[in-house]
């Protein structure tokens, strides 16, 4: 019997497959090919500098427009004030002390003050188109050197007409006011001196301006009159004080929170 030789086809098939793979030169598929073909772009964070520049630009624009708005408001206010001045020519009221009489100024050994003054002040409105409306006026007589309060009074409110002069009268008194020893000694020395005790008169009030049917808000004013010299009167007789050299100054007092300008 002859021997039969059977050849296996697997090695040939494997060799054929291997040869085909080598001939084609193909490699395993990448992740990019498996998940949609093209590879994803790498993530790059946005630089912080561009964000900061954008914020700075917004702040600069806000500041610019705010400044422009303020300048426009100030310009309009200046124009309105100029038009008001040209149309009405406003002037401050004028005050003058017309008479002052000292009934008595007594300082006891225990530094207790008792005093009485009779005051007349003329108020003049020089405006032909403006009316002043005054609130009650607080009147004080003070020593010019130390500012010691010698007496107080109140003048009722009144309406000050156009081109009008009004005489305001007040009886100013102080009864049993306690002074410290230094102020009492200074007042006694001033009353005994030949030139007399230097005094000043102060008026505090609020006023609003009336223009036709319009009224402005109330504004505080202070009137200070200096150059007054008073001597101790004789017992039971009031002494008149010369007011020829008395000058009065009017100051506007505007209150902003806790500050008075």
Band (pLDDT 50/70/90 cuts) for residue 161 is: very high
Q: Is 97 within 8 Å of 201 (Cβ atoms)?
A: yes
Summarised one tens digit per residue, pLDDT across range 212-225 is 888 999 999 999 99
Q: What average pLDDT does this structure show over 27-45?
A: 54
- The values of phi and psi at residue 12, to 5°, are -65, -40
Residue among 91, 81, 93, 85 at smallest CA distance from 221: 93
Band (pLDDT 50/70/90 cuts) for residue 53 is: low
Q: What pLDDT does 146 receive? A: 81
Structure tokens at 162: 């156009």
**Entry pTM:** 0.68
Distance CA 8, CA 19 (A): 18
Summarised one tens digit per residue, pLDDT across range 82-123 is 776 667 778 999 999 999 999 999 999 899 999 999 999 999
Structure tokens at 122: 């003329």
Band (pLDDT 50/70/90 cuts) for residue 136 is: very high
């Amino acid at each position: 019997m002859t021997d039969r030789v059977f050849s296996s086809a697997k090695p040939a098939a494997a060799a054929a497959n291997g040869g085909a793979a080598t001939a084609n030169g193909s490699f395993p598929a990448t992740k990019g090919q498996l998940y949609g073909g093209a590879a994803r772009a790498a993530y790059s964070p946005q630089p912080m500098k561009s964000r900061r520049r954008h914020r700075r630009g917004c702040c600069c624009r806000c500041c610019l427009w705010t400044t422009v708005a303020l300048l426009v408001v100030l310009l309009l206010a200046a124009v309105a004030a100029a038009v008001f001045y040209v149309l009405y020519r406003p002037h401050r009221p004028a005050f003058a002390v017309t008479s002052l009489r000292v009934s008595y100024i007594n300082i006891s050994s225990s530094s207790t003050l008792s005093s009485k003054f009779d005051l007349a002040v003329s108020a003049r409105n020089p405006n032909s188109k403006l009316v002043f409306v005054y609130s009650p006026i607080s009147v004080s007589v003070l020593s010019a050197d130390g500012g010691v309060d010698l007496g107080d009074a109140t003048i009722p409110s009144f309406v000050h007409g156009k081109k009008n002069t009004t005489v305001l009268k007040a009886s100013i008194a102080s009864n049993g006011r306690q002074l410290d020893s230094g102020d009492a000694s200074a007042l006694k020395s001033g009353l005994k001196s030949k030139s007399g005790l230097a005094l000043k008169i102060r008026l505090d009030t609020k006023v609003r301006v009336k223009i036709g049917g319009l009224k402005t808000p109330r504004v505080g004013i202070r009137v200070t009159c200096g150059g007054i010299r008073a001597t101790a009167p004789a017992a039971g007789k009031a002494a008149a004080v010369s007011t020829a050299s008395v000058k009065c100054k009017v100051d506007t007092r505007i209150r902003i929170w806790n500050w008075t300008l």
